[in-house]
Amino acid sequence: MSKKPITNKDVTPRMFESDFLEFFSKVHFSVPLIVFIPVISYFIYQSLWIEKSDLKHFLFWILAGLAVWTLTEYVLHRFVFHFTPRGALMERIHFIFHGVHHDYPNDSKRLVMPPAASIPLAALFYFLFLIIFGSNIAPMFSGFLIGYLWYDMTHYAIHHFNMHSAFWLAIKNHHMKHHFQNPEKGFGVSTPIWDYVWQTMFPVKNK
């Protein structure tokens, strides 16, 4: 993957000849909130009001879902979005999945995941977690989706908002290094914790 973007401007390149596919490849950053906040609300309601979960149990599984999301984010980014393509078809797939973001990192219409991808993935993870976590699925999946929204909104903010606090500047600098210094390091977007665990942090320069 190229270390240098084609442009840092907010440019949206055409990805598909089909107007239909092109339309669904672009999304306003608010769309994930509109799609998934009602889903999260439903599962929270199910956990607290239908299943009558006690608060400690509920909060534990919310936090567990958040933790699982952070690892999922890291694994997807490192091993799926950054796979090494072989052949023209795989290079095309790689470009659609993630290469376009590295070529046009500030494209505001392709910074959050479009529902055409996020909804099927959410359904896949839901049924996987239902098998693994069983009756704890409602609070766990709520936490997982909260983590996903945090990731999507953080990613958009990194590229388009001015950061002022030390916390947000650290998050932004970590991701900017991934784009402009070494795309094979720094796979965590919403948190760098798994980069520390799996030793994919950027090397510290000696002063």
What would the pLDDT profile of 103-138 be if each residue is shown by its tens digit? 999 999 999 999 999 999 999 999 999 999 999 999
The predicted structure's pLDDT at residue 163: 87
Alpha-carbon gap, residue 207 to 203, rounded angstroms: 12
Give the confidence band of 6 by pLDDT, cuts at 50, 70, 90.
Answer: confident
**Which alpha helices (DSSP H) does 53-165 contain, by range?**
55-75, 88-94, 100-103, 115-133, 137-160
8 A C-beta contact, residue 126 and residue 43: no
In the chain, what are the domain boundaries?
Answer: 20-164
Is the pLDDT assigned to residue 207 strictly greater than 60? no
Largest CA distance in the chain: 58
Alpha-carbon gap, residue 146 to 138, rounded angstroms: 12
The predicted structure's pLDDT at residue 165: 93
Give the confidence band of 205 by pLDDT, cuts at 50, 70, 90.
Answer: confident
84 burial via Cβ count (<10 Å: 0-12, 13-18, 19+): exposed
Alpha-carbon gap, residue 68 to 143, rounded angstroms: 9
Alpha-carbon gap, residue 47 to 41, rounded angstroms: 10
8 A C-beta contact, residue 159 and residue 106: yes
Is the pLDDT assigned to residue 7 strictly greater than 90? no
